Amino acid sequence: MTTTPLNAVRYTAPILDWYAEHARDLPWRAPEATPWGILVSEIMLQQTPVARVLPVWREWMRRWPTPRALAAEPSGEAVRAWGRLGYPRRALRLHACAVTITERHGGRVPDSYAELRALPGVGAYTAAAVASFAYRQRHAVLDTNVRRVLARMITGVEYPPRSQTAAEVALAESLLPPDAPTAARWSVAVMELGALVCTARNPRCADCPVIGSCAWYRAGRPPHEGPPRRGQAYAGTDRQCRGRLLAVLREADGPVEKAALDVVWADPVQRERALDGLVADGLVDPLEDGRYALPS
Question: Which active-site residues does the annotation give?
Answer: 42
Which of 271, 277, 282, 280 shows the shortest CA–CA distance to 244?
271
Residue 108, C-beta contacts closer than 8 angstroms, at least 6 positions apart? 35, 101
Q: Which residues of 161-196 are buried (b: 16+ CB within 10 A; e: fewer)?
A: eeebeeebeebbeebbbeebebbbbbbbbbbbbbbb
Distance CA 84, CA 59 (A): 13
Q: Which residues pair with 292 in a beta bridge?
A: 256, 286
Distance CA 165, CA 266 (A): 42
The answer to whether 256 and 291 are in contact (CB under 8 A) is yes
Residues in the chain: 296
* CA gyration radius, the chain: 21
Q: Which residues pair with 285 in a beta bridge?
A: 293
Kindly report the number of other CB atoms within 10 A of residue 266's CB atom. Answer: 9
- Residue 21 amino acid letter: E
Half-sphere exposure at residue 173, Cβ-oriented, CA atoms within 13 angstroms = 9
Distance CA 232, CA 215 (A): 29
The answer to whether 82 and 239 are in contact (CB under 8 A) is no
Distance CA 177, CA 193 (A): 17
